Structure 1
Amino acid sequence: MSDIVIVAGARTPMGGFQGSLAGVSAVDLGAVAIREAVQRAGIAAEDVQEVIMGCVLPAGLKQGPARQAALAAGLPAATGCTTINKLCGSGMKAVMLAHDLLKAGTNQVMVAGGMESMSNAPYVLEKARSGLRMGHGEIKDHMFLDGLEDARTGRLMGSFAQETADKYGVTREEMDAYAIESLKRAQAAIADGSLAAEIVPVTVTSRKGESVVKDDEQPLTANLEKIPSLRPAFRKDGTITAANASSISDGASALVLMTAEEAQRRGLKPLARIVGHATQSQDPSEFTLAPIGAMTNLFARTGWSKDDVDLFEINEAFAMVTMLAMREHGLDHAKVNVYGGACAQGHPV
C-alpha cells in the first residue's frame, strides 16, 4: 500500500482568551488555515476530495462547521466535509482518519486539522425549550459543560490532573520549572522566527478597523517572575496553576495529505511521511497518562524505539502530562517540545 505524506500545512497564531482573535469565529479561523494550506501545497481547491476538521465547541457555529470552513476557504461544494469531536485529540484524530482514508484508497488528496474559538463558546440555557415553569433557571458555560468538565461527575478535568500529579509525586517546583522552560522556548521561537513559516497571519476586523495578528499572543504577555507565586487552580493546597497548565485559547491549523504516488505524480515534495499512528484509551480520570500508552502502542506498531526519534511533540495540556511521559519513556527534554508547548503557547481545546 502507498505511503501517506504531508505536502503542506499552516496554522493561525494562537490568541489568548478574549484576546487578539476573539473577534474571529472557529469557522473563520479554520477557513484561514485551510485556504493557506491548500495554497502552500500548490494544488487547486477542487483537487481536495475531503476535509476533516476537529472542533470541540461547535454550539452556535451553525450546521457543519468543517463544511462551513471549507467553503469559506474557497473549496467547492462537491468537497466532502466532516467535523470531529475527540476533545483535546480532535485535530490529531482528524489527521489519523485522513491517513486511513488515503491508505484505503477512498481518497487521494485530503485536508485535515482542527479549529477552536474558546473565546466565542456560548452559554447554554437548558430546559428553555420545554419551559422554565417556576423558580430559577441556570445558564451553563458551553466551554465548561462540553469541553473542560468530566461528563460523568461534572468535575473539572484539571482536578483529575491534580490527583495524578499527587499520585506520581510531581511537585509544584518541578511543574513550574517545566512551565518556565516551555515559556522561554516559545518566546525564543517567536524572537528568532522559528515558528514564522508555519503561521498564516489573521486579519481581524473590529469597530476600530482592521488589525493583523501574526504571532502567538500568550508567550508575549506572560510574566516569568509571577509563575512561582500563582495560586493553585484546582485545590486549595494543590500544585497545578494557570501557568503550569495550558491556557484557554483560540486558533486553527490544517494539513494537506495525499498518497506518495499522488505527490510524485504532481511533482510535489512532501514535508513528511506518516509512519504510523496509535490510540490509547483509559478511564477519563487518568486522561493525563494517555500519551504514555499511545507512545508505547506506536513504538510497538512501528518497531521503533525512542532512540529512533529526533524530536517529540507531547501535548502540554498540563505540564505534568509531558513530564510523566518523559519520565516513563526516558526522554531527553532537549528533544521534547523544542519550541515550547501548550503551557506557553495556549491550547485551543
Structure 2
Amino acid sequence: MAMARTPFGKFRGALAELDSIDLGHRLIDAVAARDPDGGILPEIVYGGAGLLGGSHLTALRQSLIKSALPDTTPSQGVDRACCSGMTAIASAAAHLRAGQGDKALAIGVESLSNTPVLLHRGSERKINSLELIDPLLLSGSVSEKTIAQYTSEEALKCGVGRAEQDQWALESHEKYFAAKRRGAFDGQIVPLRIGDTVVTDDEGPRETSSLARLAALPTVNGAATITAGNAPGLSDGAAGLVLVGGEDAAPKGALAEIVDWVQLAGDLQSGTSIPAACIARLLERNRLALHDIDVIEINEAFAATPLVSATVMANRLGADPSRLRDRINAWGGSVAIGHPLGASGIRIVMQAIDRLRERGGGIAVCAICGGFGQGEAVLLRL
C-alpha cells in the first residue's frame, strides 16, 4: 500500500549521526505517513537488521516506541543477515495470510557506521590476551574464510572473472544515474533532516567511475577478484513497506501483489548462486517460465552475485546468459546505491515494484543472498 526508504549513506557519512533506532523510527513514521488508508494502523511491525541493530537491545522495539505508532503495537525482529529485510516482508505477508490481521509493516534498518567492535567477556581471559572482533569483516566462527573469499571462489568456478565483475560494477553506477536523471527514485526516497542538513540523495553512486579506475584497485579480504570497487561500500539506511491482507486490498490502491516467497539455505560456498536457486524454486512452484518474468532484481552483495546467479539460471532454465543479465537490475544495484544489510531486501522489492509500474504491470522476481549460504526470493505481480 505504501513504501519508502531513506537515502543510503556511506560508512561514517551523512547518516552516521543516526543509529539504528533513529533510522528505524524515522522510517516507520515516513512509511505510515504515505499510507493512503492511514486511519487504520498496522497491527504489527516486522523488522530486519543484518547485525542485530548494532549495539542496541531490541532496536526494533525501541524504534517503534520512538515512532508515532502506539506503544501497544507489537514488533518482531528477524536475523537472516542480508536476507533480513526480505524476511520481514515474508513474515508480514504470512501474518496477513494466516488471518492474524489486516495490515502489517515490514522494515529493514542498518547503521553500519554505529556497529560496535566486540570484546568477549571470559573469566579465563587475561587483560593482555583479549582480542577485539570487528563484525564488519563479515566472517564467522563456522569458517576461517570471509564471505568475500567464498564469493570469489564460486565466481571463478562459474567462469566469472575479475574483468566481468568490474564491468558489472561500472554498469551498476551508469544504470543508477540513467534512472535517477529521469526521476525513477524520486518516489522512493524520503529526505532526512540531520541537524541543519537535509539529506536527499544516495551517497554511494559515483558518476566518474571508469573501468581503468576499477581495474587499478587491489583485491580485499583475501579474495582473488573482490575489490572495493566491485563490492558495495559499507552503508547506512532504512526501507519499509505497508502490507495489507484480504480480498479488498487491490481496489484500495495496492502497489503490487506479493504472490509467493521462498527461503532456502545451502553450504558456505553457495551464497553467490543461491539467488538463482530461490528464483528457480519460485518459478517451478508457480508454474512459470523465465520468459514469463518481466522484471528481475538480484541484490548486488558483490558484482559477482547477479553474474553468477544469471549464469546458473541460464544453465538450469535454458536461457541465454547475456540476454538474461541485461534484464537484471536495470536501474542499478547495491554496488552503486549501497548495501545497508537489513534494508537491501526491501529496497530491491521497492525497485521491482517501481519498474513494474513504469512498464504498466507484469511479473517481477526479487532475490537476495545472506551470509553463510542463505537465500530468499519474492514473486510480485502488478
TM > 0.5:
yes
Which digits, 9 at most, give the CA deviation of each residue in 1:37-66, with x for residues without a partner? 111112347621000010122365433211
Match of 1:201 among 177, 191, 203: 191
2:324 corresponds to: 332
Residue type of the alignment partner of 2:303: A
Match of 2:136 among 138, 143, 162: 143
| Shift, 1:132, TM fit | 4.4
1:228 corresponds to: 215
| Shift, 1:134, TM fit | 4.8
- Is the deviation greater in 271-280 or in 37-46? 37-46
| Shift, 1:220, TM fit | 4.0
Alignment of 1:1-349 (within 5 A): 7-44=1-38, 47-58=41-52, 61-127=55-121, 130=123, 132-144=125-137, 148-205=138-195, 210-220=196-206, 223-224=209-210, 225-235=212-222, 238-261=224-247, 263=249, 268-329=252-313, 330=319, 332-349=324-341
CA contact (8 A) 2:105 2:241 kept: yes
Which digits, 9 at most, give the CA deviation of each residue in 1:151-209, with x for residues without a partner? 3124211010111112111111111111111110112223332111111111113xxxx
| Shift, 1:223, TM fit | 2.9
Residue type of the alignment partner of 1:121: T
Cα root mean square deviation, aligned: 1.9
Task: Identify if the C-alpha distance between structure 1 residues 59 and 183 changes in structure 2 by more than 3 Å, giving closer, same or farther.
Answer: closer
Matched length: 332
For 1:122 and 1:346, how far apart are their aligned partners in 2?
20
For 1:220 and 1:292, how far apart are their aligned partners in 2?
28
CA contact (8 A) 1:54 1:83 kept: yes
Which digits, 9 at most, give the CA deviation of each residue in 1:200-223, with x for residues without a partner? 111113xxxx21111110104763
What residue ranges of structure 2 are gaps of 5+ in the alignment? 314-318, 342-382
| Shift, 1:315, TM fit | 0.8
| TM-score of the pair, normalised by structure 1 | 0.89
What residue ranges of structure 1 are gaps of 5+ in the alignment? 1-6
Q: SS of the counterpart of 2:336?
A: helix
Which digits, 9 at most, give the CA deviation of each residue in 1:60-103, with x for residues without a partner? 54332111222222110111101111001000011011111110
Task: Identify if the C-alpha distance between structure 1 residues 262 and 49 changes in structure 2 by more than 3 Å, giving closer, same or farther.
Answer: farther
Task: Identify if the C-alpha distance between structure 1 residues 343 and 134 changes in structure 2 by more than 3 Å, giving closer, same or farther.
Answer: closer
CA contact (8 A) 1:162 1:234 kept: no
Deviating 4+ runs (over 6 angstroms): none
